[in-house]
Amino acid sequence: MPASTVALEILTDEELSVLTPGPGAVVTPFLSAVPDAERDAVRRTALRGLVARGIVDPPAVDATATPTPGSDGTEVEVDAMVRQDVLSALTLRQAARRVVAVARTTATGQDFWYAHLVDEIALLEEVGSDGLHRFALGHTAALAELLAGATLHPDAADGTGEPVVLTGSPDGEAPPELLEHLGAAYVRADVLVIDADRDERPAMTGLFTGPRGSWSVVADPTTGRVSARPETVASLRARVEALASEATASTDPATEVAP
């Protein structure tokens, strides 16, 4: 039985830019495409939408919307009351020190999946290319199952072929056989475990899965070494479990995932 989750509110890029101090690790596909000169107007329109949907109480008559400099242009600050369920979700989002970030690519497009981890709670956030953020609550203890559901094709099959190691040199090229294997995947999921308390860049794990075989590709940012290997369904799940263990480890060094 899949891990249970509780669906929460759906918010847009623009609405989140009004409600939060910044996107953090999360992408904003729609808002990022809006010219800087137009963002203030877009945010003001988003605020009206939040009020109309009952997520934000109308600001007091004498309240002033104050433009403040932001990393991506002008941000608008207003004194307003946010509905409690939305406020609780956004508080969890801001409090998370570890985030599992996934970029998923299929034949029909790309979307993004995040698990913001705060103690035993996992705030899940799915972001479409349209800039809609779908929130849900899950349990940190079920992260491995949640991550598997977000990254692995349901009909994934065992991969075949030989492992390949690529160097970080500009002249390094992937062999045609590897490109053929990776190109046969139905789902590509690039996974990062982001720890706000660590300075080093995290390794990226790419999971290429589908009925025609499955592979993993791990890129080490410190050495530029990229290793690709065929995966069985069992080893895929073990790799996902290791990534989940890394994300949920308390104060111990992160669990190493085999390259």
Q: How far are the Cα atoms of 99, 126, 208, 230 from residue 91, in angstroms, in the given order? A: 14, 17, 33, 40
- Calculate the CA 183 to chain-centre distance: 23
State residue 76's pLDDT score.
47
Instruction: Give the Cα separation of 12 and 35 in Å (integer).
Output: 17
Q: What is the pLDDT of residues 184-211, one digit of tens each?
A: 999 999 999 999 998 888 899 999 999 9
State residue 10's pLDDT score.
97
pTM, two decimals, is 0.86
Q: What is the pLDDT of residues 103-149, one digit of tens each?
A: 999 999 999 999 999 999 999 999 999 999 999 999 999 999 999 99
Lowest mean pLDDT among 52-61, 96-105, 219-228: 52-61
Instruction: Give the Cα separation of 226 and 168 in Å (integer).
Output: 7
State residue 166's pLDDT score.
82
Instruction: Give the Cα separation of 72 and 84 in Å (integer).
Output: 28
The 10 Å Cβ neighbour count of residue 50 is: 24
- CA distance between the termini of the chain: 30
State residue 174's pLDDT score.
73
The answer to whether the Cα torsion of 135, 109, 183, 173 is positive or negative is negative
3-state secondary structure the chain: CCCCCEEEEEEEHHHHHHHCCCCCCCCCCCHHHCCHHHHHHHHHHHHHHHHHCCCECCCCCCCCCEEEEECCEEEEECCCCECHHHHHHHHHHHHCCEEEEEEEEECCEEEEEEEEEECCEEEEEEECCCCEEEEEEEEHHHHHHHHHHHHCCCCCCCCCCCCEEECCCCCCCCCHHHHHHHHCCCEEEEEEEEECCCCCCCCEEEEEECCCCCEEEEECCCCCCEEEEECCHHHHHHHHHHHHHHHHCCCCCCCCCCC
State residue 62's pLDDT score.
57
Lowest mean pLDDT among 18-22, 218-222, 253-257: 253-257
**CA angle 92–80–29, rounded 5-degree value:** 55
